Amino acid sequence: MRLILVGPPGAGKGTQAVQLASHFSIPHISTGDIFRLNIKGETELGILAKSFMDAGNLVPDSVTNDMVAERLTHEDAENGFLLDGYPRNIGQADFLKAVLEKAATPLDAVLEFLLENSEIIKRLSGRRVCRSCGATSHAIFEAPKVEGTCDLCAGELYQRQDDSESVIANRLAVYHEKTEPIISYYRDTGLLKSISAVGEVADIAARAIAALK
């Protein structure tokens, strides 16, 4: 199974990626992991990427593309893979298509997780972090026994700035503008399968597996 996961931030792609990778016995490949491994290993691409990051610039698509292409040559990806966080735009999607066509290993599906913006904001803005031990909880879904107090160490719980509703709304706006076009791109190829991302983790995973059969 060669699979891509798409969907807005907060839709649970990371959680479902773990479930699906295990079910299909394929590696979960995220761009974040690829970047960290290349930078930590001081590969040629990692050093190049770090030079852009250290200068406060975005890493160009060409570098990201080459990192992904190199990762797909690893032995564990021979029989399939799950890409999470890539491609993020049409240019990256075109590059990936060319790489896979050259290797005669086309995609099997692109799985889209559907979730309303209001639900995403509720999910992400409810996260609270303990100032003392760093444990996380959720104001709605995993509420502490005492409001504002960590269940583990009784430390103060706070909301990180990037979990504020205004920041989340901006992240969603960027997603809709920059990344959402690839959904139409893959819909036109007939590869797109869409499922609801509402519900328990196990229920969403079962929905995803059924859609991929």
Residues labelled catalytic: 13, 88, 127, 160, 171
Distance CA 142, CA 21 (A): 26
Burial of 56 (0-12, 13-18, 19+ CB in 10 A): exposed
Distance CA 213, CA 194 (A): 13
The CA angle 76-33-104, to the nearest 5 degrees, is 40
Q: Do the Cβ atoms of 110 and 2 come closer than 8 Å?
A: no
Q: Do the Cβ atoms of 12 and 201 come closer than 8 Å?
A: yes
